[in-house]
Amino acid sequence: MAATQSEIPTAPAAAPAANPLFPLVLQLADTSLILAHRLSEWCGHGPVLEQDLALANIALDLLGEARSYYQYAAELEGQGRTEDDLAYLRSAVEYRNPLLVEQPNGDFAHTIVRQFLFDNFHYHLLKELQSGPDARLAAIAEKSVKEAAYHLKWSSEWLIRLGDGTPESRQHLDKAIATLWRFAGELTTPTALETNLQELGLLPEYAALLPAMQAHAAHVLAEATVPLPAAPFAQQGGKSGRHSEHLGYLLAELQYLQRTYPGLTW
């Protein structure tokens, strides 16, 4: 094709105007998918059958939510990529999940603390997103917030049982809190992308979610007889694609089938 005068010959082909929602929806999808995968690793290994089932149920809810986001993200991008391409054919540096959700399961207390920190954010975020201006995102949030309420109740109750349980359970819980609390800050610290979307009114202000999140955490920790952990330092980077080494190993397993047998569909 002949170049027109207005084109700058050395510039790369201009990308179509990107929908600012696309990276946000993708980040939400990655977050739910990665945590769903981590929880699914418990399947068959839970401490008792009922809690094995609970972990698998929560994983399934998050996987369903992730699919809804990936399908929407694929439409927003409009480049012909499908939900499968987005979930299975991106590398670790392209993932936008916060670091918390990719952390390994550890023991049951470790998984509970990770889940509690995530659920407390997730539930309160969805509650706001369901009345947001984007109809599709609101519909996904309206569907998922009902499920997230069960998740938060479950992880809160387990945090209390472990904290106010036996010296043994308390020791495991304390260790998990010492390891994981530093990852909580990333959830509510907006990236440049999130700040931009918050200014556009497409994403709730995280500062507005904090009072309810902190009230719930304070209530649960008090019931668990655990002092509120100090969090002077927030480990960040996942939402910008700077991940811990754990994500690569996780994706190697998650993406194995699609990369070995390209074109398989869910």
Partner 1 sequence: MVTTSSPAPTEARIWQLLEEVSDPEVPVLSILDLGIVRAVAVDGEHITVTITPTYSGCPAMSAIATDIRLRLLAEGYRQVTIHNQISPAWTTDWMSQAGRAKLEAYGIAPPIDGTASGHVLNLFGQDTAVRCPLCKSAHTHLVSQFGSTACKALYQCDDCREPFDYFKCHA
Residue 167 has a CB neighbour count (10 Å cut-off) of 6
8 A C-beta contact, residue 22 and residue 8 = no
Residue numbers of the site for partner 1 (CB under 8 A)? 50-51, 53-54, 56-65, 67-68, 123, 135, 138-140, 142-144, 146-147, 149-150, 152-154, 156-157, 160, 216, 219-220, 223
**Closer to partner 1 by Cβ: residue 2 or 48:** 48
- Give 65 or 77: the residue with its C-beta nearer to partner 1: 65
Closest CA to 72 of 17, 28, 102, 122: 28
Q: Which is nearer to partner 1, 56 or 193 (CB)?
A: 56
Tell me whether residue 91 or residue 166 sits nearer to partner 1 (CB atom): 166
Residues sharing a CB contact under 8 Å with residue 102, sequence separation 6 or more, in sequence order: 34, 38, 238, 243, 244, 246, 247, 250
> Cα-Cα-Cα-Cα dihedral of 108, 180, 117, 41, to 10°?
-40
Q: Please, which residue, 60 or 193, has the CB nearer to partner 1?
A: 60
Question: What is d(CA 252, CA 257) in angstroms, rounded to the nearest whole number?
Answer: 9
Q: Which residues make Cβ contacts (< 8 Å) with residue 36, sequence separation at least 6? A: 59, 60, 62, 63, 66
